[in-house]
Structure 1
């Protein structure tokens, strides 16, 4: 999802998703065998709602520690999408970016109390190398990964679907990728992600995975998704606005 997820890695992982070599179709049984359904584990959606993001203050200054504590529970979401060969690196990059930001914060909690503090201090510290360095770069890619998750979940919550195949989430995943990540990826990664949608679980299996295999009515799962998206969207919008105002957004392709 970020620059470290290189074309080389895409070539290694995405052979089956290259033009002319689509991933083999999966049976409903294999689609349902998504990760994250261990009995006794806390459901992903429960974690996301329990460790919710703090409401956005009027000055839009986002406190670093509460933000990091909330996003720390996002990586397991990618286990629910199955296809480890594609989404495990995405999960690893998301986790790595969170750790990099946390390391900067821990070096001086008072100095880096807010996300804006981090960008301002690093801008002065790194000079011409900024913003393509440090926690500024890590947060840039983290927000894109978060946006992918939010757009995907929002699309499912809104009922967007392929009318001929209503239980598939390809439409939702492709929309999320187009909006959040595609323009930052080179040709190889674009083909890898586009091909990966054919191996995504059914919507019913995704919702079940988000609940760790527990039987929950679809309406209840959708309502939890709506609550999560509603809480996080203002935070994410404020981060994007901060990057725009500080000219910290980069458009290079990974």
Structure 2
């Protein structure tokens, strides 16, 4: 084990070319992100983790079923277009929304380093991403999760620490690494959101 950002694949290292976002590298980075919610230390975030994991599974299942047609996320969606259920297309759509929430929440936290109430950053991130797609009951679940956020100091200490007792990441390096991780994530989220909008791939869900 190592400090969180050193133990998972960074979204900044996911290959993105004119052809699209590398599917396997993206799935690896997204899988790593799931562990971030463990650091928040609240069982209220289990619903978020479960949703992200479920959508990762849907996209991976499609890749495994047709790897030659799924090298990039864009190719995967395009090649599922004519099918009746389009399970992976729907899964990726919701996965990107979940990643957008996480990205915006942490960007808010990075932009306001003196604000100890992490719940404010996550609430704003939720309002700017997932909230518009949720019904009343799901909004209530997320509202509970937001109020369960730890204080900033506690969360960032966990983010910097090595769970096996190794050296912690210095604050300046943690800030730099997290900014880079978030910039890579934001780039992918915006790219896939634009792809879905232009191709109307989210219609019917």
TM-score by length of 1: 0.72
Q: Quick check: 1:160–1:172 contact (8 Å CA) kept in 2? A: no
The structure with the largest helix share of the pair is 2
Task: Report 1:204-223 matches (<5 A).
Answer: 204-212=153-161, 215-223=168-176
Superposition RMSD in Å: 2.2
Matching residue of 1:240: 193
Q: Quick check: 1:53–1:67 contact (8 Å CA) kept in 2? A: no
Q: Does 1:47 align with 2:7?
A: yes
Q: Does 1:143 align with 2:91?
A: no
CA radius of gyration, larger in: 1
Task: Please give the alpha-carbon distance, in whole angstroms, between the structure 2 residues aligned to 1:60 and 1:171.
Answer: 37
Q: Give the 3 Å change call, closer, same or farther, for CA 215–69 of structure 1 in structure 2.
A: closer
- Per-residue deviation, 1:55: 4.4
Task: Please give the alpha-carbon distance, in whole angstroms, between the structure 2 residues aligned to 1:204 and 1:219.
Answer: 14
Q: Give the 3 Å change call, closer, same or farther, for CA 246–204 of structure 1 in structure 2.
A: same
Q: Deviations over 1:50-103 (max 9, x none)?
A: 57532432x25112122112212110011112221x211211221121122111
- Per-residue deviation, 1:46: 1.5
Q: Deviations over 1:20-39 (max 9, x none)?
A: xxxxxxxxxxxxxxxxxxxx
Q: Does 1:77 align with 2:42?
A: no
Structure 2, unmatched stretches of 5+, are: none
Task: Please give the alpha-carbon distance, in whole angstroms, between the structure 2 residues aligned to 1:177 and 1:50.
Answer: 22
**Which has the higher relative contact order, 1 or 2, with Cα contacts under 8 A spaced 6 or more apart?**
1
Q: Does 1:67 align with 2:20?
A: no
Task: Please give the alpha-carbon distance, in whole angstroms, between the structure 2 residues aligned to 1:53 and 1:138.
Answer: 22
Q: Deviations over 1:91-123 (max 9, x none)?
A: 122112112211110112111112112211211
Q: Quick check: 2:22–2:71 contact (8 Å CA) kept in 1? A: yes
Q: Quick check: 2:116–2:152 contact (8 Å CA) kept in 1? A: yes
Q: Does 1:201 align with 2:163?
A: no
Task: Please give the alpha-carbon distance, in whole angstroms, between the structure 1 residues aligned to 2:204 and 2:131.
Answer: 11
Q: Quick check: 2:11–2:185 contact (8 Å CA) kept in 1? A: no
Q: Does 1:122 align with 2:75?
A: no
Q: Give the 3 Å change call, closer, same or farther, for CA 201–186 of structure 1 in structure 2.
A: same
Task: Please give the alpha-carbon distance, in whole angstroms, between the structure 1 residues aligned to 2:180 and 2:3.
Answer: 15
Task: Please give the alpha-carbon distance, in whole angstroms, between the structure 2 residues aligned to 1:250 and 1:205.
Answer: 41
Q: Quick check: 1:64–1:113 contact (8 Å CA) kept in 2? A: yes
